A and B are shown apart, each in its own frame.
Chain A
Amino acid sequence: GNSVTQMEGPVTLSEEAFLTINCTYTATGYPSLFWYVQYPGEGLQLLLKATKADDKGSNKGFEATYRKETTSFHLEKGSVQVSDSAVYFCALRGGTSYGKLTFGQGTILTVHP
Chain B
Amino acid sequence: GAGVSQSPSNKVTEKGKDVELRCDPISGHTALYWYRQSLGQGLEFLIYFQGNSAPDKSGLPSDRFSAERTGGSVSTLTIQRTQQEDSAVYLCASSPQDYGYTFGSGTRLTVV
Q: Bound pair: A and B?
A: yes
A-side residues, CB < 8 A to B, are 32, 36, 42-46, 89, 91, 93, 98-106
Q: In the assembly, what is the distance between CA of A51 and CA of B56, in Å?
A: 23
Q: In the assembly, what is the distance between CA of A89 and CA of B43, in Å?
A: 9
Of the 9-residue stretches B17-25, B79-87, B95-103, which lies at the interface with chain A?
Answer: B95-103
B-side residues, CB < 8 A to A, are 4, 31, 33, 35, 41-43, 45, 48, 50, 56, 59, 91, 93, 98-106
Secondary structure type dominating chain B contacts:
strand
Interface contact A100-B91, CB-CB below 8 Å: no
B105, closest chain A residue (CB): A43
Residues of A within 8 A of B42 (CB): 89, 103-106
Interface contact A103-B43, CB-CB below 8 Å: yes
Q: In the assembly, what is the distance between CA of A54 and CA of B101, in Å?
A: 22
Residues of A within 8 A of B50 (CB): 99
Interface contact A101-B100, CB-CB below 8 Å: no
Question: What's the nearest-Cβ distance from chain A to residue B25, in Å?
Answer: 13
Residues of A within 8 A of B98 (CB): 93, 98-99
Residues of A within 8 A of B59 (CB): 100
